[in-house]
Amino acid sequence: MNARWTYYFILPSIFLILWYAVSRAEIYPVYIIPPLDMVLASFSELISSGTLFQHIFWSIVRVVAGFAIAAIIGIPLGIGMGGSNTLMRLIEPVTNMIRQIPPIAWVPFAMIWFKAGVVESSAFIVFIGAFFPILLNTISGVKGVPILFIESAQTLGANSRQIMTKIILPASMPNILSGLRIGIGIGWMSLVAAEMMGQDYGLGSFIINSSTVLRMDRVVVGMITIGLLGFLMDRMFKGLESSLLSWRGH
């Protein structure tokens, strides 16, 4: 256990040492590579004033809202499309085309459609980012359910509703969960794009607002916070996966 933990810290330590060395050498101006101590000072200042937590709070609210809507629409739609060729032909070309458009391209419309909404406009951008991985993974999960399981259930007396809830849903759960995991990851990554619309709070807004006044140390604080929280969220989903899917063995 101890040895494993040591491995986790090797690369970050090297990185911090290099960063510190470069800042001490004063090769670059502070707006190109903000010095480590400056960033740490900003970090502790933002934590003690509580500002950072306000930014975190609003970002999480937006991401959770966008992600939840993406899951609520994406999973049932994916199950429908995975199970029906007609629905697939009807919807797939459209979704596949929309999916190619990066979330940031939706920003102008998000601003017009949702006005100055504190949550809605950004949640919409997150939704765009999270929706397609959830949809596509659900479809491939449903399509991948072995016919053997469905026929076994039929011979054991299951009706079509029971086949849906007791066979197709649990059998495609591994794909649905990895869709959710990728979805929240991409949703979180869309934060900066989602919060470009002049909001006061949110980690994305914080980065943009800090960069306009050239406070690059604060930009770094925002980046690291996004990275750390994203990492924690991913670990949470990974834990959820391994506890829900313990039946897979290893």
Residue 11 sits in the site that holds another protein (CB under 8 A): no
Q: How far is the CB of 160 from another protein (least distance, A)?
A: 11
Q: How far is the CB of 140 from another protein (least distance, A)?
A: 17
Per CB under 8 A, the list member of 48, 100, 243, 246 interacting with another protein is: 246
Helices (H), 106-215: 107-114, 120-143, 147-155, 160-163, 169-171, 173-189, 191-194, 203-212
Residue 170 sits in the site that holds another protein (CB under 8 A): yes
Tell me the backbone φ, ψ of residue 190, rounded to 5 degrees. Answer: -80, 0
What is the rounded CA–CA span in Å between residue 130 and residue 67? 6
Q: How far is the CB of 161 from another protein (least distance, A)?
A: 10
What is the rounded CA–CA span in Å between residue 142 and residue 83? 7
- Check: CB of residue 91 under 8 Å from CB of residue 149: no
Minimum CB distance to another protein smaller for 68 or for 158: 158
Residue 78 CB partners (closer than 8 Å, separation 6+)? 134, 135, 136, 137, 138, 139, 141, 142, 176, 179
Q: How far is the CB of 134 from another protein (least distance, A)?
A: 20
What is the rounded CA–CA span in Å between residue 248 and residue 30? 51
What is the rounded CA–CA span in Å between residue 150 and residue 136? 21
> In the 8-state DSSP scheme, what is residue 102?
-
What is the rounded CA–CA span in Å between residue 123 and residue 190? 10
Stretch that binds another protein, among 28-36, 106-114, 117-125, 241-249 (CB under 8 A): 241-249
Minimum CB distance to another protein smaller for 156 or for 213: 156
Minimum CB distance to another protein smaller for 178 or for 209: 178
- Count the residues of the shown chain that bind another protein, applying the rule CB under 8 A: 22
Radius of gyration of the chain (CA): 22
Minimum CB distance to another protein smaller for 29 or for 249: 249
What single string gives the DSSP state of each residue in 20-31?
HHHHHHT-S-TT
Residue 162 sits in the site that holds another protein (CB under 8 A): yes
Q: How far is the CB of 153 from another protein (least distance, A)?
A: 7
Residues 114-153 binding another protein (CB under 8 A) are 148-149, 151-153
Residue 243 sits in the site that holds another protein (CB under 8 A): no
Per CB under 8 A, the list member of 48, 155, 212, 243 interacting with another protein is: 155
- Check: CB of residue 218 under 8 Å from CB of residue 46: yes
Per CB under 8 A, the list member of 8, 156, 212, 243 interacting with another protein is: 156
Q: How far is the CB of 165 from another protein (least distance, A)?
A: 10
Footprint of another protein (CB under 8 A) = 148-149, 151-159, 162, 166-167, 170-171, 173, 245-249
